[in-house]
Amino acid sequence: MKEITCEKSQDLILKDLDEDLDFSEEQSLTNHIAQCDKCAHAKIVYGRIYSSLAGAAPEDPGAPFWEEHLKDMKSKIKEKGGKRKRGWGWAPAYAAASVIIVISVSLYGLWNIHLNPLMDITSARSIVLELDHVYGPVTPENGVYDIYGFKSQDLDIKFALDDPSLGPCWFEVEESAYNSLM
């Protein structure tokens, strides 16, 4: 059987204490220890350290400490949970408020008669994206964007700028079908 070094032997002692030695390692260790006083002593010392370790855990801080700790933690969790719930609770309200603002802006555009056509197709597209949030998809019926507007579903969408220098901030939406019903 191959001889092992003292260094290897000490690793095997630790592996043994970890209950992880295979048969050949166990044989090697037993043979080495039988011939090496230093490692035999090391095995005893490691064994004592190992058996003392579990008992050497930090001292328990005591029941009042644990009670206060748990109470404190539960109240913090409750507080956190409450915030989380409130956070979710407001989300639909924020969404509804956003929709109302966008619709108000759109409707305000109806009464704003300073008509200026859009300057470019990029502005038209960005307005369409805004409209999508309010009306759902308003893709042009013919698939072509126009700087003056287009028809989509029951809507006759006309682009109109209050002030061309401000970019696409106001626009007009004529709800043709709705108007005709009125």
Site residue total, other proteins (CB under 8 A)? 33
Structural contact between residues 116 and 164, judged by C-beta atoms closer than 8 angstroms: yes
By beta-carbon proximity to other proteins, the closer residue of 61 and 136 is 61
Least distance to other proteins, CB of residue 8, Å: 12
Strand runs labelled E in the chain: 149-152, 155-158, 172-174
Q: Rounded to the nearest whole angstrom, what is the least distance from the CB of residue 4 to other proteins in the complex?
A: 16
Phi and psi torsions of 126, nearest 5°: -65, -30
Residue type, 119: M
Considering the complex, what minimum distance in angstroms separates the CB of residue 75 from other proteins? Answer: 10
Q: Which amino acid is at 13?
A: I
Per-residue binding letters, 45-84, with other proteins (x by CB under 8 A)? xx-xxx-xxxxxxx-xx---xx--xx-xxx-xxx-xx--x
- C-alpha span between 150 and 155 (Å, rounded): 8
DSSP annotation of 142 reads T
Binding residues (CB under 8 A) for other proteins: these are 10-11, 14, 18, 42, 45-46, 48-50, 52-58, 60-61, 65-66, 69-70, 72-74, 76-78, 80-81, 84-85
